[in-house]
Chain A
Amino acid sequence: MTVPTTTGMSLALPRAAALTDALLAPPADSVRAAEITALRAELAGELVALAEELPVGERLRLDGYRFDMARERPERCSAADAPFVASPVVCRRAIGLSALARCVRRWAPTPAVAVADVLAVGVEDAADAADQSSGRPPWWAAWYRSLPAGGRAMVAAEAVTWATQVWTALEWERFAPPPIVGSGDDWWDCPGTRQLTLRGRADVRVRGDGPPVLLVVASGLPPADWRPALGFPALVSALARGETSVPCRVIGLWPASGQVRILPVDGPALSTTAAAVVGAVATWVDARLEAHGTRVA
């Protein structure tokens, strides 16, 4: 079995065919259950020791964003917990994924139509939630509903651009069954502490007879050390769901730069990512202690 690589991919047109091939390629090696069990125990031991250093009552939720920040811009961790501010750019992925899901299910013919549908439903849900007549609306809906027409248009425009980039990146009709778009995140509460949770996220999950393949869409350029960034959702999936859900590969897509990276997921890849997680948690713990003025140099 040949593991797909990005070699030659940049020159192949249409690129969607090559990227779809990579998502559909059969798995190579799988990760054994014993490897995951051992990794889970070892990682939990190291993380519990770090979590115990967190200020009393503080919890750390390490998601992909915080993981990347700790590795690439650790100096920003100290100031990173500023209040969340919604914006068209911040919302585009969430809205765009819902729109893509509609396109994949053939509920909408194009991303632009799908985004308009998603936003309209979001406004309704937010209104219903305000009346306490329905369940929880998407996190962005109340903010979006509060915007004037011009602001809403910017939200729609950003989401359409994002969704169109992903929609045109793959040959969706080749997936059978259709891939899961924007499926729920994976959460892993570190055993032995209530202070640490890992949250993994993939944008598209392709399931066939074997292990899944994940697609992660990111902005800008791939970081110099992109492997841990792609390994993170695979690791959290392995920790949270067990060996049957460990993806056989994670594919990173950076639409703005047309870059693609492929990470075959095996034991060493998970171990490397786990080591990076320990480093990232340590960075965040230090940042929290600094913020509390309790870190002794």
Chain B
Amino acid sequence: MSRSGSSIDVIRPPEGSALLERLRGQTTARPTVDPGLAGGLRDWLEDGLAGVTDGLPVDAAPVRVTKEALTGVLMCEAHLMARRTSPRTVTVELARGSLVDALFRQWVTTGRLDDPWPDALGAVRADGDTDIIDFLEAMDAPNSRELAREVAEHAAGVVARWPVPSPTWLPRTQERLVVPLVGGRVVLSGVVDLAFGGPASERASVCVVEIKSGRRRVEHRGDLHFYALLETLRSGAPPFRIATYYTRTGELDVEPVTDDVLVGALQRVLAGTVRLCRLAAGTEPTRTPNGLCAWCAALPGCEPGQARAGTDVPRRVGDATTDDDFSLLAETDTGGGGGDDEQELEE
């Protein structure tokens, strides 16, 4: 948006060829790849993590570093641990995210979205996401109708604004990225909603897009930067662009991937991974009051959190969907969000 005098001119969300132009840019203007960059970043990470895993039990599972774990541990270690020990709570936002994600995936893959609600339900059932299915089946009729209406709005926006990517761009959805470090004791992982472009040779050639069904937040940039780093380490070349697309509004945030972006992501990964390793080794989590204290399961035993929240009774997740802080907790990311890279069973 831009201000002109007292009025606000809303820039229309990009659509059609304009949207693709912002994602693809000029092929000739894409940055050349420094073939030593990925190795240098990996060495930097290995050096930074040297000795950090020494405190872990010998038979400990790898410390998994996802975008959620990173954001969580850097915000408040105690809150992250409380979330990990609490049962997964499905909210309307989480369910909507899964449904919209499935529809976006369907659109990109097949170019057809005939009936969003049954299509989305069919997708989550085929995927076997029982938590989401159970939640949806337990919804009462009015709430279910409201969610179906919302999902249809998101789908209509996708259909209206997103051209179906050409198969020659090699689009792939829910691409898993896994980067082992420290001999596999630390594993960085994520799932990219949409990537397109073939493998890099002399020039960067991959664009990574994250899909969000919730509101726009500055924290989403950190997620994208993390994925840019993962893709660089995995493939040997950075993406040329990273983007977040908001299905509710059609907003598209696009960013070129520079060395500064990668170095910033690396430093954030190092800071978060050191903390995650300490927690995995049994160190008492530190408490850092923040906007999510009111929803923290550990609030009854956390004095700093109580001071921040003004109460010792945690709010129930889903109580206040309009609360800005809560939206970070509610996982409105439509993607798999990482950590979904268990060795899958394959026929």
Contact = CB atoms under 8 A, between A and B. Distances in A.
Interface in B98-130: 102-103, 105-106, 108-110, 112, 114-115, 118-128
Q: Which of A88, A111, A155, A219 neighbours the largest number of chain B CB atoms within 10 Å of its CB?
A: A219
B167 interface: yes
B201 A257 contact: no
B198 interface: yes
Given A14-B200, A111-B170, A153 B121 contact: no
A52 to B, nearest CB: 29
Contacts of A147: 122, 126
Interface of B: 33, 35-36, 38-39, 102-103, 105-106, 108-110, 112, 114-115, 118-128, 167-168, 170-180, 184, 187, 198-202, 233-237, 341-347
Given A161-B175, A220-B341, A256-B177, A14 B199 contact: yes
Nearest to B128: A87
Contacts of B179: 257
B127 A88 contact: yes
A167 to B, nearest CB: 8
A150 B174 CA distance: 15
Contacts of B35: 11-13
Contacts, number: 168
Contacts of B236: 10-13, 15, 258
B57 to A, nearest CB: 16
B131 to A, nearest CB: 15
Contacts of A254: 178
Interface in A1-56: 10-16
Nearest to A167: B170
B172 A160 contact: yes
B346 A221 contact: no
Interface of A: 10-16, 65, 84-94, 109-113, 116, 139-140, 147-158, 160-161, 164-165, 167-169, 219-221, 224, 254, 256-259
Given A65-B346, A85-B128, A148-B118, A15 B168 contact: no
B342 A220 contact: yes
Contacts of A168: 170, 198-199
B347 A154 contact: no
Nearest to A163: B172
A151 B123 contact: yes
A13 B39 CA distance: 12
Nearest to B126: A151
A94 B126 contact: no
The 9 closest A-B pairs by CB, nearest first: A150-B122, A151-B126, A148-B122, A153-B106, A150-B119, A150-B123, A112-B167, A161-B172, A110-B167
12 contacts: A11-B39, A12-B236, A13-B200, A113-B167, A148-B118, A149-B122, A150-B120, A154-B123, A161-B173, A161-B174, A219-B343, A220-B178
Nearest to B42: A10
Contacts of A16: 199
A145 to B, nearest CB: 12
Contacts of A152: 110, 122, 126
